[in-house]
Structure 1
Amino acid sequence: MTSPDYDFKDLSPYDFEVLIRDLLSVHEGLPFSTYRIGPDGGIDLKARKDGLLHIAQCKHTPDASRAKLKSLAAEEREKLSRSESSIERYIFVTSADITPGTEEELRADFAGCAASVEVHGRGWLNALLALHPKMERRHFKLWLKSSVAIKEMVAGGVFFRGQSRARRIEQNYFRFVHHEACERADKALESTGVVLLIGSPGAGKTAVAEYLILQWWRRGYRVIVDPRTVDNWWEWLEDDIPTVFFFDDAWGQTRLHDHATSHHDKDFAEFLTSIQEKNASVNGSASRGKVAVVTSRSQVLHDTRRFSDATRMLLEHMPDSVVAVERLTSEVKSRILFNHVNLAVVDECARRELANGDWWRSVSAHQNYSPRIIELVTARRHFASGHQLVKELHDALDDPQQVWQTSFNTFSSLEQLLLCTLAVSDSQGVKRERLTARLHDYSPTEFWNAIGRLVGTWIERSFVSGYDVFTLADPSQRDFLMGLIAREPLVCLDLIKHADSFDDLKIMCDRGRAPELEYQPSLFSLENDSLRASMDECAQSLLIAMRRMWDRRLEGVNVVPRGVLTLPTGVFVDLFSTFTEMVVYHADRYAGKEVGDLALDGWFELNMSRLMGLLRDTDPGSFHESMDAVQQIYHTFRNVTRFREFTAPWSYHIEALRGAIREVWGTWDAEDLRVFGPGEYWTGLVDVLIESTYLFENLGFHEAAASVFHLEALDEELGSRIEDDPGGSNWVQTLDDLEVLLDQALPESRRVLRSHRLLYEDDPDPIEDEVASPRGIETNEQVERDVSTGAIEALFRSLGNPLADGEGAQSNGG
């Protein structure tokens, strides 16, 4: 990096003042404090050392002449003459480029005001920035000038999801307000290499994440935003290029798994763990090669922890990486509001209206206040008056749905269907081919006309691995659309009729899951966005569509001549998993609905018979392959039945599915023993038993387990593995699970655990509450302090000042 040479013109007066505060504090080792904007009695910054007063006055006058500076100095000298305080040191700082002669003249003008007087200009500030590069990185408005830096990021090989991330950073960096969560996030990323920002929708998680991204890009790190494929994650992790990974809404925008695959949480947990392990072996954060910035909505993370063992374990092991972005102080809320209003409103009359009164107090204190609402309203930029802006802000806060409702109502039926289709689809993007397949009723010309109208406002278009990919531009649009679909059964019915595959229906069924699973404080405190009520109204159409697609899948399998070619394991697993999901969707969601002749019993018996008839033609090929296949089947079964209670007659079907999984295991298990012989077979079986005890337990192998396994050999093998790697797994929990399954003690394994102080004689059974909150996940209640509103009042009063070159000032807060 070259030595800094900034003119500071892109900073607001408040930005400049806070920059001086931070530079003086770090350079002098004194905690300088800022005070209200406006009449200040000659004091912008103050500190005390050994009881003596140090004062600084900041003048953001980058183009000021010598005469102007002397005039300003005379004004400040007059203010100081009225002060009764004894000042040890007085520092006059200007952003102007001053000569040595001007510096001496100004120092002479302040003679007698303090025991020591200093005058500093632009050159001194740049010299301090060179000495303290961390301050330069933190005050990114210094170097992130207009679109130049953004274009440099893109040209430098930065990976963006289309150009949406670049545009967002470019548009929002002047609106950014630094606050306490930024400091905590910075510290977490420095110390652990991973930061997880959690909070409610619209709380400002992404803004904090983008702030961190800019800091690390400034250090020379490559930035990779929302990488789509797991393979690329590991490729980038292992290369030698310093990299910051950014995963926005990592586990989904509104619910767990509303993007990626059901295995995303496992892959993601492993990836973040690998980053932390790499950083654990590095001494000093300056040497970190890879770091990750992750955001997640609180309710999505709650669901993820409940449904994903991998994510729950990850969070338990990274409590220092979790940072809550929840409550903003009233001061920060007001500064965010000011920054958006100041940049959006350029009409002088409207600005003067906004400079009067205290309308900003009620907006900042509104119970539905969200930076996103402020952004969405002020982005319209069509305000005829200040009163109109204030009214639209209050209307949006009182009824957040209308932020998008007015725009949505102007669209054609195709455009509305297209948006609703994206809302229930992959939040990481949908390929054009998938969209056109679902919208086959419309011509290509109609499709592209709709895309053309929506791209840039409602839809983002990007190109990924040669594919045209579309996604909703803003998470709050998805929230609005899901609320609409939840309230309007006809919209839900239209989506069902346009489904092209079982997966299209599956994601809708997942969103209509049982209410006891819901944890839905949705965006802007709107009503629950579960599709359950709407889908219940469309039950018959839904079941007909699901069964039609199931028959289509079976027909595709049956084109392969049985007895000539064996059925691939993956095909059978897919069929069994799909059938399991369909049975649960029938039983759990639509049991109480009138569905004509679509009763579950007959359909279940027929298709269970058809499915199990394919079992004998499926060849898993090896013991481990058969075990993996059964685990995949059971993983689906466990996910869709977990936390649910099924009453008769539905409990019969659920138990029949469990029995079918045992039959699959028994069929392949016997074949593996015959093909591979006892030696290789038993070795593999012990591996699986230790690694996947829960599978045997939940499939009902309790009674047979003790007779199947050689207990002494198993005990010896487990003890050996603990001895080899005592810290590598939760061995206490594994041992406890095995003893419950086998209904027998494993004394050798317990002896090894005690030898490594992992278990004591008087230890209780290590049983944990499955849904207990891991450390660090609970929202930290930030105690909001009473702060003087003088500075905020002065900010909004400044809206009445004439604009310079069509631009207003921005309030950064640091």
Structure 2
Amino acid sequence: MTRNYADLSPHDFEVLVRDLLQAEFDVRMETFPQGRDGGIDIRLHHGGVDSIIIQCKHSPGRTFAQIRNQLELEARKIGSRFTSRYMLATSASLTRGNKQQIARIFSGVNLQEDDILGVDDIDNLLTRHPCVETQNFKLWITSSAVLQHLLTSDLHLRSSGLVDRIVKRRRLYVRSEAYAASREMLAAHHVCVISGEPGIGKTTLAETLLVRFMADDWEVNVASADVSDIQRVWRASEKQIFLYDDFLGQNSLLDNLNKNEDRRLVQITERIAGDRSKRLIMTTREYILQESRQVYPRLKSSPLLYEDRVVLNLSDYTRVQKAQIFYNHVYFADLGEEALKSIISKKNYLQIIEHPNFNPRMIELVTSNFRDSGVPNGNFHRYALEALNNPRELWESIFQDQLSPVERILLLTLATVRQPMEVGDLFKGVAQYESASGTTKTPSHGLSLALKKLQGTFIHVASNARLDDQLNGIHPDNCSVIAGLANPSFIDFISSYLSSHPSEISQIAQGAAFFEQVETLVHWDMGGDFDQQLLVSLMDAFFGSRSYVKPNPRLAPGQQHVIMGALVRLEDAASCYWVESADYGPARVRRPVSELTRHLVMTMMDVKYRRRLLSGRPLSVILEKLTRRITAKSAISVGQEMRLISNLALYPEMRQSVTRARDAIAERLMQSLSSPEDFQTALLPFVSVGANPSEWSTAAEVELRRRFLDFASAWDSEEAGRVNTVPDCQESLSRLESAIEDFECFELEAKMLKERLTLLEDEVAQDLDFQDEDVPHEDYSAPPKQQPAEKTYGMPFDPVVDLFGSLGS
């Protein structure tokens, strides 16, 4: 197996050599601080003396002729100072003759030919001690076999952006306690929730875990929308691991948790916890995790979620981990000698890694954009420090000073869409913006060049997406290109940036090609109000609770008319979002246009501005389409329809029509009552709409509550006789208890289902006891064994200083 040692830093290589020799000699060795005692990188210290001294020279891809001068300089430096056994390890390629020459060069020390290790010898040791490579994730993932496995896997076909991101970022990987802790959680409980602030490394850790599991023949699946993505690909008894990134949304709790999503989420986590062939990794921002405890009581009451045993909080990095993160970014960014000197001089790196605003995402932004900043190389330390002091200034400087106009338009389009876009749609968005602003249209070649320049730091591009929109020339048999923002924090920056640049808001609204772009402007314009209003509607309709959501910066006032004009203009525009569809196999299709969602956004914004933006024909059209949806035979989204009706009820001229619409939807829902969810949905028109009660609605609500009392008892008995597994019984019990709570029939009790659940749990416990006696359990993903703490001898040293010392060696 070919390994790529060029993806290792000098520090990584030194740690690898130490671990290999420890395994080979079955002893514990120590890493020696740089600069303390020239010629020593690793040593075996026993009985007060050094038994073995090892010097490491990281020169990947080089030959003996290319490193000879460096070795001769090192030999003159150490002279004959050491009498212990001396070893030399290098990542350069060496022949037997080369080793003989090296032994003569180091004639002043006890260096034998067999103690000179070239890259072939390192490969041989890794073959002899595979556990070292397994534990050294960074080397393991850089091997050609693993990369080939990643790039040819089914995961790459389904989620090429994720795989490309993992491959690209492999050099920057830093081993931390969180990796081992998360694997322990997955081994013990099968579920791990990774929480933390934006940019702290949640997704990186999750992706690292996915690669490790994939190498152990687990099928990796990514949930992009909701829990149904997991349920759709579930295969009993097959080893599957699921990633649900930002499962509570990126900017608010609106993004993912739709009707009954909290209940389904609890059910799927508990189902996975009881299935040894399944694993689930979820990530979320810390403040959203805290808010969800107020909004979704079902999540909070889960015996599995929100407990320390499955929640891993990446609250902070240790000082050494921060140093390794900064070191890797600096080393692999190829910043130049003067930039490195500015970091090493006076130990300036300490100011960076000890800065209160230290964040891996910000460090990546600093190092990847420095060479285009125009700042002299010798001022890199000052540039990095100023960026940490004021992160927004760095974003703004890059956005305004380092990007061309077309590059800024590309990023503004992606930021306002907030989802990866097919490049044809992206270029259409740019063309619409340029047309509205009166600027010269950029040809396709120029757009492609701009996209290529942005790729990496700002944009991820995947070129093998399977999309199906044949009416517009997109065929699933041809690979499509999609582009998305590489750095989610850029969206946060744009929302903040627009709050102080009102002219940009007007330009984006007038130049928007897709409704989703203007919807994002509404989200930002309303700040917390947008989240609050929609959350209140969803929570009141489905969960009976209210929420608090961290507000985003609001846009500058005075732009509401141009934004509403854009909403009306794009009311019927095709969506630029792509979703999976069971009818189209692996290909994704355009998300169907939801006139309901669009009307809800329009009325919510108008309600905020005291109903001064919508009137006349646009308002009448909304009511006409609402009535048509209610009377049609197709399925309807009751919760959001109720919110729209509530919004329309605030218009005096609409009240009578709204009452009729409310009664029509209630009558329709009462015609089909065969499950707890049907009854919950039918109750909504009576309890969640601000329309005036009618004579019919008053009598109908009484009838509905009476029918539920009869239904609940019968359904409890029927389900208790139907279910035969613990998960199925738990699901049925949860469904019925949820409906009982909504109807406030606290005298009811799902007695039969509770008794059935107890019986099934007893049967499972007996089966497990029997299996424990006869068959050992197989642990598909046992966490790696922890290495004992490293002992050091002699003078105490700072590992951070040791680490950065290698930059100047």
TM-score of the alignment, normalized to the shorter chain, above 0.5:
yes
1:792 is the counterpart of 2:805: no
Hey, what does 2:12 align to over in structure 1? 15
The percent identity for this pair of structures is 19
Hey, what does 1:590 align to over in structure 2? 609
Asked if 2 retains the 8 angstrom alpha-carbon contact of 1:45 and 1:55, the reply is: yes
CA RMSD of aligned residues (A): 5.6
Hey, what does 1:322 align to over in structure 2? 311
Instruction: Choose from 528, 538, 541 the match for 2:562.
Output: 541
In the TM superposition, what whole-angstrom CA distance separates every residue of 1:293-313 from its partner, at most 9, and x where no partner exists?
544333455566666788778
The 5 A counterparts of 1:697-736 are: 698=688, 704-705=702-703, 708-709=706-707, 711-712=709-710, 714-722=712-720, 725=723, 727-729=729-731, 731=733, 734-735=736-737
1:614 is the counterpart of 2:628: yes
The 5 A counterparts of 1:337-356 are: 337-345=326-334, 347-356=336-345
Give the distance between the partners of 1:10 and 1:470, measured in 2 at CA. 26
Q: CA 1:37/1:661 → structure 2, altered by over 3 Å: closer, same or farther?
A: farther
Instruction: Choose from 724, 740, 743 the match for 1:741.
Output: 743
Asked if 2 retains the 8 angstrom alpha-carbon contact of 1:427 and 1:471, the reply is: yes
Hey, what does 1:512 align to over in structure 2? 525
Instruction: Choose from 279, 285, 293 the match for 1:297.
Output: 285
Structure 2: give runs of 5+ residues left out of the alignment. Answer: 59-63, 468-473, 475-479, 533-549, 575-590, 690-696, 760-791
1:485 is the counterpart of 2:504: no
In the TM superposition, what whole-angstrom CA distance separates every residue of 1:364-412 from its partner, at most 9, and x where no partner exists?
1112111222222222463886531111101211221233323322555
Give the distance between the partners of 2:743 and 2:653, measured in 1 at CA. 25
Hey, what does 1:402 align to over in structure 2? 393
Instruction: Choose from 449, 453, 477 the match for 2:450.
Output: 453
In the TM superposition, what whole-angstrom CA distance separates every residue of 1:620-639 from its partner, at most 9, and x where no partner exists?
5xxxx5xxx2xx13146469
The 5 A counterparts of 1:147-546 are: 150=147, 153-156=150-153, 158-159=155-156, 168-220=165-217, 237-238=234-235, 246=243, 248-249=245-246, 252-256=249-253, 266=261, 277=271, 280-282=274-276, 288=277, 291=279, 293-301=281-289, 316-317=304-305, 319=307, 320-345=309-334, 347-380=336-369, 382=371, 387-410=378-401, 411=403, 413-430=405-422, 432-433=424-425, 436=428, 439-440=431-432, 442=435, 445-446=442-443, 449-457=446-454, 458-463=458-463, 464=465, 465=467, 466=474, 467-500=480-513, 502-513=515-526, 515=528, 530=552, 532-534=554-556, 536-546=557-567
Shift of 1:433: 3.3
The count of corresponding residues between Structure 1 and Structure 2 is: 681
In the TM superposition, what whole-angstrom CA distance separates every residue of 1:586-639 from its partner, at most 9, and x where no partner exists?
22x323x9x4xx466x7798557635653685235xxxx5xxx2xx13146469
Asked if 2 retains the 8 angstrom alpha-carbon contact of 1:249 and 1:295, the reply is: yes
Asked if 2 retains the 8 angstrom alpha-carbon contact of 1:344 and 1:381, the reply is: no
Asked if 2 retains the 8 angstrom alpha-carbon contact of 1:502 and 1:549, the reply is: yes
Q: CA 1:420/1:505 → structure 2, altered by over 3 Å: closer, same or farther?
A: same
- Which amino acid counterpart does residue 420 of structure 1 have in structure 2? L
Question: Highest relative contact order (Cα 8 Å, sep 6+), 1 or 2?
Answer: 1
Asked if 1 retains the 8 angstrom alpha-carbon contact of 2:299 and 2:305, the reply is: no
Instruction: Choose from 135, 138, 153 the match for 1:138.
Output: 135
Shift of 1:357: 0.6
SS at match of 1:178: coil
Q: CA 1:738/1:76 → structure 2, altered by over 3 Å: closer, same or farther?
A: farther
Q: CA 1:742/1:511 → structure 2, altered by over 3 Å: closer, same or farther?
A: same
Q: CA 1:743/1:332 → structure 2, altered by over 3 Å: closer, same or farther?
A: closer
Asked if 2 retains the 8 angstrom alpha-carbon contact of 1:430 and 1:470, the reply is: yes
In the TM superposition, what whole-angstrom CA distance separates every residue of 1:50-96 from its partner, at most 9, and x where no partner exists?
x999987544358799xx99x99x97996799xxxxxxxx9979569
Asked if 2 retains the 8 angstrom alpha-carbon contact of 1:337 and 1:374, the reply is: yes
Q: Which deviates more from structure 2 when the two are superposed, residues 6-15 or residues 200-209? A: 6-15
In the TM superposition, what whole-angstrom CA distance separates every residue of 1:123-145 from its partner, at most 9, and x where no partner exists?
99767755764432231343444
Hey, what does 1:633 align to over in structure 2? 638
SS at match of 1:135: helix
- Which amino acid counterpart does residue 498 of structure 2 have in structure 1? I
Give the distance between the partners of 1:58 and 1:207, measured in 2 at CA. 33
SS at match of 1:796: helix
Shift of 1:447: 5.7
Asked if 1 retains the 8 angstrom alpha-carbon contact of 2:414 and 2:484, the reply is: yes
SS at match of 1:379: helix
Asked if 1 retains the 8 angstrom alpha-carbon contact of 2:174 and 2:324, the reply is: yes
Give the distance between the partners of 1:713 and 1:529, measured in 2 at CA. 42
- Which amino acid counterpart does residue 419 of structure 2 have in structure 1? S
Q: CA 1:264/1:719 → structure 2, altered by over 3 Å: closer, same or farther?
A: closer
Q: CA 1:220/1:415 → structure 2, altered by over 3 Å: closer, same or farther?
A: same
Give the distance between the partners of 2:601 and 2:129, measured in 1 at CA. 58
Give the distance between the partners of 2:712 and 2:159, measured in 1 at CA. 54
- Which amino acid counterpart does residue 185 of structure 1 have in structure 2? S
Give the distance between the partners of 1:232 and 1:753, measured in 2 at CA. 29
- Which amino acid counterpart does residue 586 of structure 1 have in structure 2? D
SS at match of 1:493: helix
- Which amino acid counterpart does residue 718 of structure 1 have in structure 2? D
In the TM superposition, what whole-angstrom CA distance separates every residue of 1:313-349 from its partner, at most 9, and x where no partner exists?
8895475443222301111112222222233346445
Structure 1: give runs of 5+ residues left out of the alignment. Answer: 82-89, 283-287, 520-527, 554-570, 673-680, 759-786, 802-814
In the TM superposition, what whole-angstrom CA distance separates every residue of 1:95-133 from its partner, at most 9, and x where no partner exists?
69999xx99xx9xx9xxx9xxxx9896899767755764
Give the distance between the partners of 1:216 and 1:751, measured in 2 at CA. 41
Q: TM-score, normalised by structure 1?
A: 0.66
Q: CA 1:445/1:234 → structure 2, altered by over 3 Å: closer, same or farther?
A: farther
Asked if 2 retains the 8 angstrom alpha-carbon contact of 1:222 and 1:242, the reply is: yes
Give the distance between the partners of 2:248 and 2:126, measured in 1 at CA. 39
Shift of 1:540: 2.1
Asked if 2 retains the 8 angstrom alpha-carbon contact of 1:56 and 1:91, the reply is: yes
- Which amino acid counterpart does residue 562 of structure 2 have in structure 1? S
SS at match of 1:745: coil
Asked if 2 retains the 8 angstrom alpha-carbon contact of 1:351 and 1:799, the reply is: yes
Give the distance between the partners of 1:22 and 1:695, measured in 2 at CA. 67
Hey, what does 2:668 align to over in structure 1? 668
Give the distance between the partners of 2:525 and 2:168, measured in 1 at CA. 37
